[in-house]
Amino acid sequence: MDYRVQRSAGFGLLELMIVLVVAGLLASVAVPSYNQFVDRAKERRAIGDIGFISVEIGKYQLRNNNALPPTLADLGVDIPMDPWGRAYVYETIAISGGGKPKFRKDKNLKPLNTDYDLFSTGKDGDYKDPLNAKVSRDDIIRANDGAFIGRAEDY
């Protein structure tokens, strides 16, 4: 008679714990990377949308003797919401009111544009006029009369 002990072919507790630790480490690296990817994709979409809206404003100016539209709704095209579900902010110099116009300003407190401001309030949904304000750093802006479109932090 053979009295050898038969072993089970399943996984032991140690092997199972090692697999769980490795899976946890992979998840802790993958999830933040994925979130950064999603944030960058939303920023790029907002940059593209602002470029599209700027082109539509240029077309409106060509049709209307170089006049700017009073609102984005006057462009006659569907204006998308920003990637965070909010409307793009549009302000013109002529419509902003008499006296001291309220426009976005750069870090040196100089106006970003001479014609109109067009921007997304970014992920936090908040903004202040100067770009050096903490809540304005994530905004996607149009500056230098359209020569720059990107994150306010990068301007």
The per-residue DSSP string of 109-143 comes to S-BS-SSEEEEE-TTTT---SBTTSGGGTT-EEEE
Task: Please report whether residue 1 resides in a domain.
Answer: no
pLDDT at 3: 63
In a domain, 24, yes or no: yes
In a domain, 3, yes or no: no
User: What domain range includes position 94?
Assistant: 13-154
Q: Give domain status of residue 2, yes or no.
A: no
Structural domains of the chain, count: 1
Instruction: Note whether residue 53 is domain-resident.
Output: yes
Q: Which residues of the chain have pLDDT under 50?
A: 96, 98-99
4 within some domain: no
Q: Whole-model pTM?
A: 0.77
Percent of the chain with pLDDT over 90: 43
Q: Is residue 143 domain-resident?
A: yes
Residue 6 included in any domain: no
- Where do we find the tokens 């170089």? 66
Q: Are strands 148-151 and 116-120 parallel, antiparallel or unpaired?
A: unpaired
Cα gap 26→23, rounded to integer Å: 5
